[in-house]
Amino acid sequence: MEFKLNGSNYEIWASMIELHASTQGKLGYLTGNTNASDSQDPKFGKWKIADAVGKSWMLRTMEPSLLNMFHTLPTAKEIWDAVNQMFYDGSDISQLYEMRCQATRLKQESRPVFTYFAKHKAI
């Protein structure tokens, strides 16, 4: 995924990560529904590998400044929860404000009308 979390795009980043994890059967590693077994359990090695896959999806889709804040967390769920706690305020008000600001700043410039419209619609 080429898209990088930069803080202001948390909502779309989170939905893309959830979608990707769901399609790969790994959403439980983010939500905590797939719990780690005891480290002595033979299944623990497989759990650890699958959890590392979830961690890598999130970490490689973050801007470097954010990556430095989360890369030391031990599990995919802990990263998922920490990012959510940092960027989701429990409402959509801040997201709506940001979208209005983006729409106001958007200019057609020398772009074709359909490109301008597509960017405006994407906001």
Closest Cα partner for 96 from 6, 14, 11?
11
Report pLDDT digits (tens) over 63-122: 999 999 999 999 999 999 999 999 887 666 556 666 677 777 778 787 787 776 777 677
pTM, 2 dp? 0.71
CA distance 43 to 73: 21
Burial of 5 (0-12, 13-18, 19+ CB in 10 A): buried
